[in-house]
Amino acid sequence: MHGSHDAEGADSAFVFEGNWKDFARIAFPNLLLTIVTLGIYRFWATARERRYLWSRTKFVDEHLEWAGTGMELFLGFVMVFVLFGVPYFGLTFVAQALIARGYEAIGAGLGFVALLSIFYLGGVARFRALRYRLSRSRWRGIRGGSDHGGFVFGLSYMWKNLVGWIPLGLLVPWSMTSLWNERWSKMSFGPYQFEADADSGNVFARFLLFYLAPFVMFIGMLIMGGMGMLAGYGLGGEDGMAIGGIVGLIGIVLFFYLGLGLIAVAFYAKFYREVVGSTRWHDLHFSFEASTMDWVKLLVVDALLVVLTFGIGFIFLSYRHWKFFMTHLEAGGEILLDELTQSETKTAKHGEGLLDAFDMGAI
């Protein structure tokens, strides 16, 4: 079956075929085993979940495959604990001992170094988590990866975040898009590099909502409070006015939290459309079509699912998020299958899986 694929031919290049009942048959035993092993099974549980989610996701005409194992996640965790957790513990211990002996400045300095190293490693971990996921994801036997270890990215992560926050956070959209571009440009799948050139200008307007919010909310507060009091007065005179005022106050608090949350969601929705839409792989371009409303629905149902099941619904969140991601992810362009050769990036042999224990949301 030689030839090429036109990813635009089908309805959507990415199709998710899983269903929650099948997933439940994986998630519930996982939960049980994780509890009875005091959390140690977590790594194998993650691998099982991903194997399911990946294998039920079709890209064009073939399913994805998750080739990672629980053991390598576990070993990654152990290595991080030994190589970084223990030195960090030692460093804070020495810092405390120095402070106790009266060397406050040196002690505080060491404590600061410990915090700074956590900041740095957080950046490295973000890079390596994405690299790990790409290197364990296969399509038609081909995998992804990166030739970089993420140690340079860790430095970028530090300075770009700092620069982003210094001018009252105004450059945060720039630091976020710039870090996205830097990270994805160092990744590859098969023989081809990813490219990303997201423009922070396109998400900046949404970001400004965070600054407008206090003004909008202040006015909202006045209106809500006033209306509450008026309504209360209309219903029951002076006493009613007080009760109305309290109801108004509750409204203000809700308005504040929901308002700020809504702005954050609106920003992230726009951010994801921009960064995914600016990411390319060889002749393939991607897009992400989730609107703010889609995100709100996702998060509200997430919250309801967890609350109404007394927390057990938590095990379905990874399923819901993957499905959300795959449903809204689109790709267009052409893939030449003959040219799509195996990735030559380094794999596990060279210490991959070291920092992958910090396997947080990779994308």
Q: What's the min distance (Å) between Cβ of 106 and another protein? A: 11
Q: Of the two residues 191 and 234, which places its CB atom closer to another protein in the complex?
A: 191
Give the one residue of 38, 167, 215, 238 binding another protein; rule: CB under 8 A: 38
Instruction: Indicate the pairing of strand 62-66 with strand 192-196.
Output: unpaired
Give the one residue of 9, 102, 167, 361 binding another protein; rule: CB under 8 A: 102
DSSP result, 55-110: HTEEETTEEEEE---HHHHHHHHHHHIIIIIHHHHHHHHHHHHHHHTT-HHHHHHH
Q: In whole angstroms, how far apart are CA 160 and each of 94, 123, 129, 131, 153?
A: 30, 11, 19, 20, 10
Residue 139 touching another protein (CB under 8 A): yes
Among candidate residues 181, 135, 346, the one with its CA nearest the CA of residue 276: 181
Residue 165 touching another protein (CB under 8 A): no
Residue 96 touching another protein (CB under 8 A): yes
> Residue 348: enclosing H or E segment and its boundaries?
none
Q: Of the two residues 97 and 258, which places its CB atom closer to another protein in the complex?
A: 97
Phi-psi region of 140 (alpha: psi -120 to 50; beta: other; left: phi over 0): left
Q: Of the two residues 131 and 143, which places its CB atom closer to another protein in the complex?
A: 143
* Binding track, positions 65-84, relative to another protein; x by CB under 8 A: xx---x--------------
117 touches 88 (CB < 8 A) = yes
Residue 6 touching another protein (CB under 8 A): no
Q: What's the min distance (Å) between Cβ of 220 and another protein? A: 37
Give the one residue of 12, 23, 48, 146 binding another protein; rule: CB under 8 A: 48
The tokens describing 148, both together, are: 């970089």
Contact region for another protein (CB under 8 A) — 97-105, 171-179, 180-188, 266-274? 97-105
Give the one residue of 10, 20, 82, 104 binding another protein; rule: CB under 8 A: 104
The tokens describing 159, both together, are: 């300075």
Q: Of the two residues 44 and 267, which places its CB atom closer to another protein in the complex?
A: 44
Q: Letter for the amino acid at 267?
A: F
101 touches 90 (CB < 8 A) = no
Residue 190 touching another protein (CB under 8 A): yes
Instruction: Indicate the pairing of strand 284-288 with strand 329-336.
Output: antiparallel
Q: Of the two residues 89 and 119, which places its CB atom closer to another protein in the complex?
A: 89
333 touches 285 (CB < 8 A) = yes
Contact region for another protein (CB under 8 A) — 57-65, 216-224, 256-264, 351-359? 57-65
Q: How many residues at the interface with another protein, by CB under 8 A?
A: 49
Among candidate residues 171, 190, 178, the one with its CA nearest the CA of residue 153: 178
**Site residues (vs another protein, CB under 8 A):** 1-2, 17, 29, 32-33, 36-38, 41, 44, 48, 51, 55-56, 62-63, 65-66, 70, 85, 88-89, 92-93, 96-97, 99-104, 111, 114, 138-143, 190, 335, 337-342
